[in-house]
Structure 1
Amino acid sequence: MAAAADDATWERAISTATKSTSAPKTLTLDGAVKSSTGRLPSAALIGRFAASLEELSVAGAGLSSLTGLPRLPALRRLSLPDNRLSGPAALAAVAEACGATLRHLDLGNNLFAEVEELAPLAGIGVELLDLYQCPVTKVKGYREKVFALIPSLKHLDGADAEGNERLEMGDDEDDEEDNEEGEGWGEVSPSEDGKEGDGEEMDEADDEDGEWEDEEVMISLIYQSISVLISVF
C-alpha cells in the first residue's frame, strides 16, 4: 500500500515537472516527494523518458535505496543530494542504469562514510563527483583516495586533484567571449582601413597641390623680375 501511494505521488510530481512534454531532457523532482518507503518510483514512471533524459534531479526525497532506477542511456547528470543514501549497492544501481554516459554525479549530504563504498564508480566515466557534507569527506586522505579509486574523475567537490576550483559553465562561456573580443584589439577593420587610406590619399593630393602653388609663385616672380629689367633697359 505504501509503495502504491508513493507511486501515485511520484506520478503527479513527474506530470507537473514535465508539463505534458513527451521527451524531456531535464527532469527535476527536488522536494516534490517525501518517499515513505525510501525508494524511487516504479521504473516505468521515469523509464518512459529514457531515450531523451539527460539530467535527473531528485533532491530531498528521503531516498535510502536506488532500487528500481531504470536504464537511462542518455543521462549525463544525476543529482541526488539531501537523501539518506549509503553503501555500494546504491552506486552499483547508478553504474548499471547510466554508467556509460554519466559525467556528473551529485551525492552531497548523504550517508556515504567509507571510500570503499564508492567502488562501483571506478569503472564508469564520471568526471564530476560531489560528496560534500557526507561522512566520507572526513576520512583521512579522502581526496587522494577518491581520485585514485576513480580514474576518470576530474573534479571532486568542485576542485581538481591539485585543489584548483572548477569554473562554472557560465564562467567558461564568459572567458570564451572575452577571448573572442580580445582578438579584435589592435586590428583595423576593413571599413576603418578604407577610411584611413582615403585620408592618406587626400593628404597626398593636398601636398601635390601645395607644390604646384609654390611653383606658380616662383614663375610669377621670375616674370615680374624680367619685366622690371626690360623696362630699365
Structure 2
Amino acid sequence: MEEAIKSVLPATASLSPATVKELNLDHRCKSSRISGLDPFVGLESLSLNGIGLTTLEGLPTLGNLRTLELSDNRLTSGLDVLVGATPRLEVLKLGGNQIASLDALKPLCEFRRLLNLDLFENPVSRTNGYREKVFGMLKALEELDGADKDGRELEEEEDDDDDEDEAEESDEDDELMGKLNKSSAYGKMSAVEDDKSNDVAENEEEGDEEEEEEEEDDELFPRIKSGSPNELIPAPHPRPTPAPIPERRHIGPTQKNVFSSERGSNDSNLDRN
C-alpha cells in the first residue's frame, strides 16, 4: 500500500502527510490488510475500494475521519476495529463484501453519528426484515443502501432537486430570451416607426413641391371653377397695340402748285411723245 500511496500523492510529497484531508487508493494495489496510513492523522475521507482487504487490522486512529469507503473487498467481520479508530464516522460504504449476519453489524451500534450505511450486495441484505432491523439497531441512521426508512431512494430526490434547478434555470433562460425578443421587437417597431416618419416627411416635402409647382402653373394658367373638375385653360394672348396713325399734314397752296406744275409737265411730255 505504501507504493500506492506514493503514486497518488506526487504533488504533495513535500507536504506533511498530517495535512492531507482526502486519500483515494481505489484499485491501485492489492493488499489483504491496511498499512502505511499512520502518518495521515488529518484524513477526513478515505477510500479503499477494490484492493482485496480481508481484515481491517492495521487501520490507524483517524480522529477526523468522516467518510470511509471499503466496497468490493472480501470483508466478513471485524467491524469493531472501526469503533476505536474512527469515532466520528458518518458515512460507511461496505457494499460488495461478504458480511452475512446482523451480528457482524452490532459493533456499529457504538457510532452516534453514523448517518449513511451501504451494505448493498452483502448476504446480510437478503435477511428477512433486514431494513427494519438495521434501522432499529442504528438510531442515528438516515440512509441505508441509498434509501431512507420508508424505502424512498434519496438519490432520486436529489435528481428531482437537480431537475427543479435545471427547470428554474431554463425558466430564467426563457425569461431572458423573452426580454431579448421583446427588446428586438421594440427595436424593429421603432425602426418601422422611423421609416414611417421618414415616409411622412418625404411625402410632405413632395406635397410642398407639388404645391409650389401648382402655384407656378396658376401664374401661367389661371384656374376656372365650374360644375366639372377644375380645368386648366391657357390665358388669352395679349392684343397687340395698334401702330400710331401718322398725323396728316395740311398741304398749302405752294405745295399744291408744285404738284400741279409737275403733273402738267408730265402731261406735256406725254403729248410730245
8 A contact 2:91–2:114 mirrored in 1: yes
**CA distance in 1: counterparts of 2:41 and 2:161, whole angstroms:** 29
1:73 and 2:93 equivalent? no
Give the counterpart letter for 1:161 in structure 2: K
Q: Residue by residue, what CA displacement relative to the aligned partner does 1:61-114 show, whole Å, maximum 9, x if unpaired?
A: 3423x344222234332122322332xxx3333233223253243243222411
Distance 1:204 1:96, change over 3 A: farther
Q: Which has the higher contact order (CA 8 A, sep 6+)?
A: 1
Unaligned runs of 5+ in 2: 225-273
**CA distance in 2: counterparts of 1:201 and 1:94, whole angstroms:** 74
Give the counterpart letter for 1:186 in structure 2: E
TM-aligned CA deviation for residue 58 of structure 1: 5.0
Q: Which residue of 1 aligns with 2:189?
A: 200
Distance 1:231 1:122, change over 3 A: farther
8 A contact 1:108–1:130 mirrored in 2: no
Question: Which TM-score applies when normalising by structure 1?
Answer: 0.67
1:114 and 2:102 equivalent? yes
Give the counterpart letter for 2:190 in structure 1: E
Q: State the SS of the aligned residue for 1:55.
A: strand
**CA distance in 1: counterparts of 2:75 and 2:223, whole angstroms:** 123
Q: Which residue of 2 aligns with 1:159?
A: 147
2:123 counterpart (114, 135, 151): 135
Question: Which TM-score applies when normalising by structure 2?
Answer: 0.59
**CA distance in 2: counterparts of 1:107 and 1:85, whole angstroms:** 12
1:103 and 2:91 equivalent? yes
The RMSD of aligned alpha carbons is: 4.0
1:57 and 2:45 equivalent? no
Give the counterpart letter for 2:201 in structure 1: W
1:11 and 2:2 equivalent? yes
Unaligned runs of 5+ in 1: 1-9
Distance 1:189 1:99, change over 3 A: farther
1:231 and 2:222 equivalent? yes
Q: State the SS of the aligned residue for 1:185.
A: helix
8 A contact 1:92–1:121 mirrored in 2: no
Distance 1:15 1:221, change over 3 A: closer
**In percent, how many aligned pairs have the same letter?**
25
